[in-house]
């Protein structure tokens, strides 16, 4: 079976200039030869401490920054020449801070319709129907489309962000610390929502977190990243129970067991 996501030998750097009018070009390498694959409908976890490069890899996969190597999503190569609209139908993202992703004055329904408007998809009635469908998928009743963002709780805002990501029926979602800003019970609800969506829509997911417990709870396979390299990759249960890399062991010792998740 063809992979949904294939990341091969991906390296990436941030480039800046030193101060002054003749500023030198400074290259800061962040990712070093990353390889990973996600099968259609698989939830794959990426874990590693702050600053190791998880978000940078997510940005490469979303086509937001340059990289060396090769990334293909559902048969299409990601990069500067990729067809943006086709890519938008393949991969979407959910980030950590739902409030930062949403305009507080807008109504949820208008926000949810936005991906369809941008991509000029569907007429008015069809868009509204899709909004209702998606609200149901994320566990909100249709009345929520009239609510303005500032009238929603953090968890409800995150549900709207997840809804936006689902509007175009992507095959892959990148969830980057998508529950890290939520308290434990809200976080658990959103994790369960991801699990339901994965099961009901056979959605593929790259679930990024610094918390090995969360990743173990949700994902079948995981990769552990350290300083821009994958140090261990495989079955989540096996790695959790029997970590081979000393860094994975240290990560496991560093995270407290979250109550109410198991
Ligand atoms: N726009 C940028 N310009 C320059 N350096 C950056 C930029 N964004 C991130 N970095 C650096 O790249 C490295 C990797 O950052 P990244 O955000 O990918 O880490 P992360 O694993 O997602 O961390 P966290 O768990 O805190 O979200 C860090 O050293 C960071 O300081
Ligand atoms: Mg990050």
pLDDT tens digit string along 70-86?
Answer: 999 999 999 989 999 99
| Residue 36: Cβ-neighbour burial (10 angstroms; 0-12, 13-18, 19+) | buried
| Whether the predicted pLDDT of 5 surpasses 90 | yes
Of the candidates 169, 215, 181, the one whose C-alpha atom is nearest the C-alpha of residue 195 is 215
Tokens of 250: 């240290």
Cα 141 to ligand 1 centre (Å): 37
Nearest Cα residue to atom 26 of ligand 1: 50
The predicted structure's pLDDT at residue 258: 56
The CATH code of the domain at 39-67+77-90+170-262 is 3.40.50.300
The CA distance from 57 to 59, in Å, is 5
CA distances from 100 to 46, 53, 96, 104, 183 (A): 23, 21, 9, 9, 17
Backbone angles phi, psi at 179, to 5 degrees: -115, 5
The predicted structure's pLDDT at residue 163: 97
Whole-number CA gyration radius for the chain: 19
| Whether the predicted pLDDT of 152 surpasses 70 | yes
For 194-236, what is each residue's pLDDT tens digit?
A: 999 999 998 999 999 999 889 999 999 999 999 999 999 999 9
Cα 49 to ligand 1 centre (Å): 11
Ligand with an atom nearest the CA of residue 46: 1
Q: Could you give the residue range(s) of every CATH 3.40.50.300 domain in the chain? A: 39-67+77-90+170-262
| Whether the predicted pLDDT of 157 surpasses 90 | yes
Ligand 1: list residues with CB < 6 Å.
14, 28, 30, 48, 50-56, 210
Residues with CB under 5 A from ligand 2 (ion): 55
């Amino acid at each position: 079976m063809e992979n949904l996501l294939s990341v091969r030998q991906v390296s990436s750097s941030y480039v800046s200039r030193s101060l002054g009018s003749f500023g030198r070009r400074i290259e800061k390498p962040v990712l070093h030869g990353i390889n990973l694959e996600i099968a259609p409908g698989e939830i794959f976890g990426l874990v590693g401490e702050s600053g190791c490069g998880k978000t940078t890899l997510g940005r490469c996969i979303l086509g937001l920054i340059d990289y060396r190597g090769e990334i293909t999503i559902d048969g299409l190569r990601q990069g500067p020449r990729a067809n943006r609209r086709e890519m938008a139908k393949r991969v979407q993202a959910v980030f950590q801070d739902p409030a930062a992703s949403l305009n507080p004055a807008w109504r949820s329904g208008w926000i949810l319709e936005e991906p369809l408007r941008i991509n000029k998809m569907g007429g008015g009635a069809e868009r509204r129907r899709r909004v209702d469908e998606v609200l149901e998928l994320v566990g909100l009743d249709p009345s929520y489309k009239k609510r303005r963002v500032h009238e929603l709780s953090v968890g409800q805002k995150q549900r709207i962000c997840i809804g936006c990501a689902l509007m175009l029926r992507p095959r892959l979602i990148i969830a980057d610390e998508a529950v890290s800003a939520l308290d434990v019970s809200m976080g658990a609800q959103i994790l369960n929502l991801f699990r339901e969506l994965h099961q009901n829509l056979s959605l593929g997911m790259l679930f990024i977190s610094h918390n090995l417990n969360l990743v173990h709870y949700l994902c079948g396979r995981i990769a552990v990243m350290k300083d821009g390299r994958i140090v261990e990759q495989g079955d989540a249960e096996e790695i959790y129970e029997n970590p081979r890399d000393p860094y994975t062991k240290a990560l496991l010792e560093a995270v407290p067991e979250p109550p109410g998740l198991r």
